[in-house]
Structure 1
Amino acid sequence: MPMHLQLPNTWRRSTAIAPLTIFLVIAFVIPVATILVLAVWSPAEGLQLTALQRITSTPVYRSLLLRTLEISAWTTLLCLLLGFPIALLIQHARGQRRLLLYLLVLLPFWTSYLVKSFAWMVLLGRNGPLKQLLSALGWDLGDTTLLFNHTAVLVGMVHALLPFAVLIILPVLDAIDRCLMPAATSLGAGPFEAFVRVLLPLARPGLGTAALIIFITSAGFFIVPALLGGPRQTMIANVLIEMVLELMNWPLAAAASLLMFVVSAALFVLYVRAFGMESLIGRSRMESSGHRSTLNDGRGARLRRGLWKAWDRVSAKAGPLRRLPGALQDVLVYATIAFLALPTLFLVPISFTTSGIIDWPPEFFSLKWYEALNTPTWRAAAGRSFSVALATGALSLALAYPASTWFVRHAGRTRMAVLILMMSPMVVPRIIVAIGLFYLFAKLSLVGTWVGLVVGHTIIALPFVVMTMIAVVQAYDERLDQAAAICGAGTGMRLWRVTWPLLAPGAVSAFLFAFVTSLDELTIAMFVTGGLSSTLPKQMWDEALLRVSPTLAAASALIFLLMSTLVLAAVAMRNRRTPSPV
C-alpha cells in the first residue's frame, strides 16, 4: 500500500488511544511522578535525601511500614484462603443457585467501605450482637471490647477485600476445562492430588492477580484501621493523611509514598514475570501473543521452581483437609459467604432506633435519623456525589471504549506499553494518587472543584472500565457489521440496530462500575476537596470522626439500598437475552 494511504489510516487508528493516553499522562503520571521526585529532590536545594533517610532510620516510621506490610500480607493470605473455595463453589453451581451465590458476593463488593466498617463497629461494639452471642454461649468478656485491636482490623479488611478475591478468581476457574479433573482422577490421582496438581496450577494467574490487587489496596487502606483499630494498628496511609492535610510536610509524605511505590512496583514486576502483563485482563501471555510465559523460559526458571516448591509446601500442610467431611467443608464455605453478606444488614434496624447512640438491640421505632439527613449539608454532599459519579461514568466510558477497540486490534510493544499505562492506577496505592493530585491541583487552583473530583475519580475507575470494555469488544463479532453493510444498512443504521444492542449491556455495566467506584471514593475526596466542599463519603467520614451516631446508620442503610438496586439492575441486564438486532 502506498505510504500516502498508510499515514492517514495510521493516524486515524492512533486517535482512538490518544484521549485516554493524554488524560492518564497529564492527570496520573505527572502528579504521581512529581510527588515521588519530591522525596529526593527539592526545587530550592536540588538533590535532598534528608526526608528519605528520616523515614528509613526513624524507628516509628520503620515500624509503621513493617506493620502496613504485615497487615496487608495477612489480609491477602486470608482473602485467598477464603475466596478460592467460594469461587470454586460458585463455579460448580448452576442456574438460580449460581446467580444467588454470585449476588451474595457482588452485593458486599459494591457496598461502600465506610458502610462495611460501620457495620463491624456495630457487630464488634461493647454491647454488640457478637459479644452478646459469645455471652449466651458461656464466654463472658465483661467490659472487654472486641474493637480497636489487630483482630478487628483484619476482620474488617478481609471482609472489605474478600469479594475482590472471589470475583477475580472465578473467571479463571470458569475458563478451566471441566474435563481435566475427571481425567486426572481416571488416571489414578485422588481428588486432593488432582486438585493440587491440576486445578491449583491452572488457577495460579487468578490467585496471583487477586494477591497483587488485594495487597496493594490493603497497603493504602486507612478507613478500617482508623475506625476498627487502635494506635498499634495505625498504617502508613493514616500517617500520610496527617503529614499532608495537617502538617503539610511534603518531603516526608513524598518519602513515605516513594517507599510504598517501590514495594508496589516490585510486586508488580514479580507478577508480570510470573504470569504476563495481560493476565490482569484475564488473558495469558500464550493466549495473547503465542509466546511462552516467562515461567517457561530461562529467565523465569527460578521463579517457576519457587512457585512449585510453595505449592508443595501448601499441599503438605493442607493434607489434613482431605479428612474433612464434605458436609463440613460446605458449612465452612457457606459460613464465609454469610460473613460476607450479613454484617451490613445490622445497620438497617439501628437506623430506626429512638436512642441517640448505636446500641444493640435497637430501641424501635423512629425515623428521626433519616430526617436528620434532610439538611443542606447532607443534601449538598449527596448531590455533589451523584453528579460527580455520573460524570465519572460518562468520562470513563468515553475514554475506555475507543481505547479498548484499539487494544483488541493491535499487537506488539506499543500495545503492552498502553496496557501498562491503562492498568497503572490499579497497581499504584490510591493514597499516592490522591497526594499527587492534591499537589498538582493546588498549583492549578483545582482543589475543592467539581472538575478536580471528576478527574480524580475517573483515574481510579478507568482500569476497571477498560477491563470490562476490552472483554465486551473482544466478544463482539465484527462480521455482523459486514453482513449488515452487505444488506444495505448505512453506518448509522448499523450502529443503532447492530453494534449498540450487542455492546449496550457491557457498556452499561462498565458505566455502573465507574459510577459505584466514584460514589464510594473517599481517598481522592479527602485531598481534592481540600475542606472546601464535601462528597457523601467525605461527609460520613467527617461525621464518624466527630461522633458515631445512628445518623450514619441511616445514611449507610440508604447507600446499601441504592447499591443493592444497582447490583440487581446490572445482573438483570447481564442475564437479559439481547433481542435480535435485525
Structure 2
Amino acid sequence: MLLAQRLPQAGTRPSWPRRLRAWLPAVPALLFLVVFFVVPVVEILQGGLYNADGVLSTAQFARMTHTPVYAKVMLTTFWIAFLTAALSVVLGYPIAYLLARLTARARERWLLWIMLPFWTSYLVKTYAWMLLLSKTGVLTTIASHLGLIADTSTLAPSMMGVLIGMVHAMLPLAVMTMLPIMQGINTQLVQAAETLGADRATGFFTIFLPLSEPGAAAAGLLVFITSLGFFIVPALLGSPKESMIAQLVISSVLELFDLRFAGALSTVLLLCSILVFYVYDRVVGLSSLSGDAPRPKGGQGGRALPVLLAIGRAAGKLHFHRAGRVPGNRGLKLYTWAAVLLLVLPIAFVVPLAFTRSPFVAFPPDLFSLKWFGAFLSSAVWQAALWRSLAVGFSTAVLALALGFGATLALSRMSGRYSKPLFAMFIAPLIVPRIVIAVGLLYLFARLGLTGSDAGLVIGHTVLAIPYVVVTLSASFKRFDWRLDDAAKMLGASGFTRVRTVLLPLLASSLGAAFLFAFIVSFDDLTIAIFVSGGLNTTLPKQMWDDIQLAVTPTLAAVATSLVFLVAFVVWLSSYFKRHSY
C-alpha cells in the first residue's frame, strides 16, 4: 500500500498531465451538459429579457408584476412549495431517524416499500388521489360522514387536495435525503452524553438533532425546488385558485404560443432556485447532498444550537427518560408503519379498479374482468406510446450510465478544490426545475430540428437522469478499495484495462441500480415529453396526461396498474442489486 501511495510521486511527468488525465473521463458528460443544459438555460434568460425586435426589455417581467393574476400565481407557487417542503421534512424526519437506527437488512426492507411509491409515476399517484378525494371518493365520503367536511364539500379540487398529493409525492424524497446524513452521525456521541448523566431526550435534542440539521436542510431544499416546477398535482387536484407557475408556462407555450413570456416565467423559477441553492450551500454546504456530513464552520454548532439546548433541557424535565425512549422504538415503528401504509395504499387502491367489469370507475369495483387490459394492449395508440417510452427509456439509461460513470470516476480522482464545483455541475439538472429545462430544450430543439424526435427525448431525459446516476455511483466509489486498482497498475495494466477488469466487475450491482434509476426517470417523465415528444407519436405518460384530462376511465386504471407492476419489478431489481453489491 505504501508503494502504491508513492507511485504518483515517483513519476517523472509533471503534475498537470496527471490532473488532465483525471479530468478526461468527465469531459463527455461536461460537454453534454454544457450543450443540452447550460446553453438552453442561458437562452431562457435571454428570451425573457428581449422583445420581438431583439431589443433589451423588461416588459415580460413587468407584465408579471402588474397583472394581479400572475402575481397571485407566483405567490401561490412559493407558498405551496414551502408548505410541501416543511410538511415533508417534519413528517419524514421520524421515519429517517428510525431507519438510521436499524440494521442494514431491516432498513433495506423498509426502504423497499418507501421506494415503491417514490418511483411510481406522478400521474399514477395523482390519478389515485383523484379517485380518493373526488366528491364521490372514499376519503371524501368518510370525511363527510364523520362531519369533518360539509356534505357539499370535496377534498379535491382544493388546496388540501394539492397538499395531500404533493406531500405524498415528496415525502419519500425527503426521507431518502435525510437518511445518509443521519447514518453518518456517530451514535457514540449520544451515548457519551448519557454516560455523563443526560437522559435520551436531552441527548437527542442537543446532539443528534443539531448534527442532522444539514440532512433536513438538504431535504427541504430538494423538495422546495422540485415543488416549484410541479404542474400535474395542482392541475388535477387543485382549482384555478391553486394554479402554479409551471401551469402558466405550459399554457403560454402550447396555447398562447408566447415563448418569451414562458421564458420570463421560467427565469423567475430559475433565479429562485439558484438563490435557494446558494443560501443552502453557504449555510450547510454542498457536500451534504451527496450524503457527507459537513463540518461545522468556524467550530460552531449552528445558530439553532442554543434553542435546541433549551428544548433538550425542557424535554428532560418532562421525564422522557422514564420510558427510556425519544420517542420509543415502538412508537417510531407504529408511526413509520402508518406513514408507509399511507404512501402505498393510494397506489394499491388503483389496482382493483383495473379489473372492474363496469364501463366506468366506481368503488367498490364490480369484479372480475381483464377486458380493460385487453383494451390497453390492443390499442394502437397506447401500444405506440408504450413502445416509444420503453425504447427511449432504454436508450436514455445506456447513455446516462456511460456519461455518469465517467463523471463519477473523475470526481473520485480529484481533490475537493475541483470536485465540489464539478459535482455541482453534474447535479444541477436535479436542482433546476424540470419545467425550466423543458422550455430551454424547446428553444434549442426548434433550431436543431429535434422537436418530436426520439433523439430529442433521449437527450432531454439523459439531462434529467445524469444526476441520479452520479449520486447513485458516488456512494459506491467512496466504498471502493482503490488498492485493487493500484495493484493492477503495478502489474502493468493500462487505465482502460483497469476499468474493464477491476472497476466494472466490482461495481456491477451499483451500475445496475443506476441503470434502472435512469430508466425510470425517463419512463416516468412528462415535463420534457409535453414540449419535445410531438403531438402525434407520444410517450406513455404523455398519452395518460392527454386522456386523464378528458375522462377517468377503467382503461386508465389498467395502464396505471401496469405501470405500478413495472415499477415494483424495477424496485425489486434495484434492491436485489444492492443486496448483492460487494
Q: Of residues 295, 298, 306 in structure 2, which corresponds to 1:296?
A: 298
Match status 1:545 vs 2:549: yes
Give me the whole-angstrom Cα distance separating, in 2, the residues matched to 1:573 and 1:94.
Answer: 18
Cα distance per residue 1:37-69 (max 9 Å; x no partner): 222123624211111111122211111111001
C-alpha deviation, 1:458, in angstroms: 0.6
2:498 aligned with 1:478: no
Q: Which of residues 341, 345, 359 in structure 2 aligns to 1:342? A: 345
**Which residue is 1:422 aligned to?**
426
Provide the C-alpha distance between the structure 2 equivalents of 1:317 and 1:75, rounded to a whole number of angstroms: 29
Q: Could you say if the C-alpha distance between residues 42 and 143 of structure 1 is closer, same or farther in structure 2, counting changes exceeding 3 Å?
A: closer
Aligned residue for 2:366, secondary structure, equals coil
Tell me which residue corresponds to 2:519.
515
Tell me the distance in 1 between the aligned counterparts of 2:362 and 2:507. 48
Give me the whole-angstrom Cα distance separating, in 1, the residues matched to 2:14 and 2:298: 41
Aligned CA distance change for structure 1 residues 568 and 4 (closer, same or farther; 3 Å): closer
Q: Which of 436-445 and 322-331 deviates more?
A: 322-331
Structure 1 letter corresponding to 2:345:
L
Please say if residues 177 and 289 of structure 2, whose CA atoms lie closer than 8 Å, have aligned partners that are also in contact: no
On the 8 A contact 1:131/1:141 being kept in 2, the answer is no
Change (3 A) 1:315 1:456: farther
1:62 has 2:65 as partner = no
Q: How do 1:103-114 and structure 2 match up within 5 A? A: 103-114=112-123
- Contact 1:275–1:284 (CA<8 Å) still a contact in 2? no
Amino acid at match of 1:219: L
Distance 1:255 1:393, change over 3 A: same
After the TM superposition, which residues 116-127 of structure 1 pair with which residues of structure 2 at under 5 Å, given as runs? 116-127=125-136
CA separation of 1:50/1:373 partners in 2, compared to 1, >3 Å: closer, same or farther? same
CA distance 1:406–1:491, change in 2 (3 Å): closer
Distance 1:64 1:313, change over 3 A: farther
Corresponding residue of 2:108:
99
Q: How does 1:293-332 map to 2 (within 5 A)?
A: 295-296=297-298, 304-305=302-303, 307-308=304-305, 326=328, 330-332=333-335
Determine which of 271, 278, 281 is the counterpart of 1:269.
278
Give the match for residue 173 of structure 2. Answer: 164
Q: Can you give the 5+ residue segments of structure 2 that lack an aligned partner in the other structure? A: 1-9, 321-325
Give the TM-score, by structure 1 length: 0.91
Corresponding residue number in structure 1 for 2:31:
22
| Correspondence 1:140-179 to 2 at 5 A | 141-179=150-188
Note if 1:376 corresponds to 2:380.
yes
Distance, in Å, in 2 between the alignment partners of 1:412 and 1:69 is 34
- How far is the alpha carbon of 1:480 from its aligned partner? 1.6
Question: Within 2, Cα distance between the matches of 1:315 and 1:456?
Answer: 48
TM-fit CA distance, 1:336: 1.6
State the identity as a percent.
Answer: 41
C-alpha contact (below 8 Å) 2:509/2:581 kept by paired residues: no
Q: Which moved more, 1:265-274 or 1:467-476?
A: 467-476
Given that residues 73 and 245 in structure 2 are in contact (C-alpha distance below 8 angstroms), is that contact kept between their aligned partners in structure 1? Answer: yes
Shifted more, 82-91 versus 412-421: the winner is 412-421
Residues 435-462 of structure 1: per-residue CA shift (max 9 Å, x gap): 0101111111110000100010011111
Q: Distance in 2 between matches of 1:260 and 1:458?
A: 21
Matched, 1:462 2:470: no
5+ unaligned residues in a row in structure 1: which ranges? 287-292
The alpha-carbon deviation at position 399 of structure 1 amounts to: 0.7
Q: Deviations over 1:359-398 (max 9, x none)?
A: 1111112212111112111111111111111111111111
Per-residue deviation, 1:251: 2.1
Out of 242, 259, 262, the position equivalent to 1:253 is: 262
Moved more, 395-404 or 5-14: 5-14
Q: CA deviation at 1:555?
A: 0.5
1:164-190 C-alpha deviation (Å, 9 max, x unpaired): 011111111111112222222222323
Residue correspondences, number: 566
**Shift in CA distance, 179/8, structure 1 to aligned 2, threshold 3 Å:** closer
**CA offsets, 1:374-425, max 9 Å, x none?**
2111111111111111111111111111111111111254433322211211
Work out the CA distance in 1 between the residues paired with 2:316 and 2:131.
Answer: 38
One-letter amino acid matched to 2:64: I
Q: Does the alignment pair 1:408 with 2:417?
A: no
Bigger mean CA offset, 450-459 vs 115-124: 115-124
Q: Tell me the distance in 1 between the aligned counterparts of 2:433 and 2:251.
A: 17
Alignment deviations for residues 220-259 of structure 1 (CA, whole Å, 9 cap, x no partner):
0000001111111111111110011111112221221121
Equivalent position to 1:182, from 180, 191, 209: 191
Tell which deviates more after alignment, 69-78 or 569-578: 569-578
- The residue number in structure 2 matching 1:360 is 363
From the superposition, tell whether residues 215 and 322 of structure 1 become closer, same or farther in structure 2 (CA, over 3 Å): farther
Amino acid at match of 1:516: I
Which of 29, 38, 55 lines up with 1:46 in the alignment?
55
| Conservation of the 8 A alpha-carbon contact between 2:94 and 2:332 | no
Q: Distance in 2 between matches of 1:479 and 1:13?
A: 17
Match of 2:241 in 1: 232
Q: CA deviation at 1:501?
A: 2.5
- How far off its partner does 1:3 sit? 9.1
CA contact (8 A) 2:287 2:294 kept: yes
Change (3 A) 1:313 1:187: closer
Q: Out of 18, 21, 40, which is 1:31 matched to?
A: 40
Residue 308 (structure 1) shift: 4.2
Conserved 8 A contact 2:206-2:309: no
Query: Contact 2:225–2:273 (CA<8 Å) still a contact in 1?
Result: yes
CA distance in 2, matches of 1:70, 1:244: 24
Q: Any conservation in 1 of the 2:95–2:332 contact (CA below 8 Å)?
A: no
Partners in 2 of 1:319 and 1:540 — Cα distance?
Answer: 53
SS in 1 for 2:357: coil
Corresponding position of 1:289: none
Q: Deviations over 1:92-147 (max 9, x none)?
A: 23365433211111111111111111111122122322234446657685343221
1:149-207 Cα distance to aligned partner (Å, 9 max, x none): 01110000000010001111111111111222222222232322221111111111211
Q: Do the aligned residues in 1 keep the contact of 2:77 with 2:245 (CA within 8 Å)?
A: yes
Q: Per the alignment, in what secondary structure is the counterpart of residue 123 of structure 2?
A: helix
